Amino acid sequence: MNSRRLRRRFPRMRMPSRLPVDPFVLALLMTVGLAALLPASGRAAGVAGGATTGAVALLFFLYGARLSTREVADGLRHWRLHATVLACTFVLFPLLGLAARGLVPYLLTPQLYTGVLFLCLVASTMQSSVAFTAMARGNVPAAICAGSFSSLAGIVITPLLAALLIGGGGGGGGGGISAGSVAGIVAQLLLPFLAGQLLRRRVSGFVVRHRRLLGSVDRGSILLVVYTAFSEGMTAGVWHRVTPKDLASLLLVEAALLAAMLTLSWYGAKRLGFGRADGIAIQFAGSKKSLASGLPIASVLFGPQASLAVLPLMLFHQLQIMVCALLARRAAARPTTPAAARATL
């Protein structure tokens, strides 16, 4: 039976033309491969570490320069939605992460569990949340503000939660987070962000005019963080502790975690009385985790152990893109009237 006859018989079924594999994730995988074949060691490792520190500081300076006062004011007007997204990101996710401790050592090794718990503490991502919200015809401005607030809050909340839950022994082995690590976060991430905010009026024009170039800075700095982290992991021999069975178990756990958050965010928005457009924004923003925010923080907090710590986050990032792309396409195919968009979910 050909595809045209299938579409006639199953009009609501939409088969994607291709898997939504993010090109940036492919670049990440290539970077991991480069680190495996040619890891930076000795003097080269020192140079790569210094370049990574500078790139991460520049990255968060640009984050501070991009977030306008108007975005903050607009977001505050929809405080219930943003509070719901923040609760999903920094309350529900960490609770599920702590519950996953019961899977050690049956499905997760202590080191991989530390990475799973860390990904549960990371801020939401704005780019894919906004893209999928727009595709599904949700509340795009709310998704933009929710992602911005989550990224801003994550600079402070993620290291504090990591120090409390991982450094305090909740991570089940590995991590080694200390007050010095949190101080490093402040110096390397928060201070550049605040400098960007203070200098926003002077540099915002440059940021707007060179948006594509600065987007390359974003991606390039993250790739550099990944290369440095995985090089340190190769040098320290941490990858000898990960087997194909461990990776398969990790993927299974993360699939269950994503399914749980997609379900809780959607039906939680329904119970709270949000309209369909707001519910879409809550579901996509509340179920995401940001590589851009998580990788730099992990590189500061975990040091040579960062490669294992960020592996669950990298896998979760690709998984959320593929699953949410399919959900967004399915939502976009549903007929929606203005009255239905305003009505309760």
User: For the segment 262-271, what is each residue's pLDDT rounded down to a tens digit?
Assistant: 999 999 999 9
Check if the beta carbon of residue 94 is closer than 8 Å to that of residue 257: no
* Per-residue model confidence (pLDDT) at position 120: 96
* Per-residue model confidence (pLDDT) at position 70: 66
* Per-residue model confidence (pLDDT) at position 12: 44
**Weakly modelled stretches of the chain, pLDDT under 50:** 1-3, 5-17, 19, 168-176, 339-345
Which class in CATH covers the domain with range 42-333?
mainly alpha
- Residues in Cβ contact with 163 at an 8 Å cutoff, skipping those fewer than 6 apart: 177, 178, 179, 181, 182
d(CA 9, CA 328): 22
* Per-residue model confidence (pLDDT) at position 239: 67
* Per-residue model confidence (pLDDT) at position 265: 96
* Per-residue model confidence (pLDDT) at position 171: 45
* Per-residue model confidence (pLDDT) at position 213: 66
d(CA 14, CA 10): 9
What residues are paired with 344 via a beta bridge?
Answer: 275
* Per-residue model confidence (pLDDT) at position 93: 97
Q: Mark residue 186 as left, alpha or beta (left: phi above 0; alpha: psi -120 to 50; beta: remaining).
A: alpha
* Per-residue model confidence (pLDDT) at position 183: 65
Check if the beta carbon of residue 324 is closer than 8 Å to that of residue 125: no
Task: Specify the pTM.
Answer: 0.72
Check if the beta carbon of residue 229 is closer than 8 Å to that of residue 299: yes
Check if the beta carbon of residue 81 is closer than 8 Å to that of residue 274: yes
d(CA 319, CA 132): 14
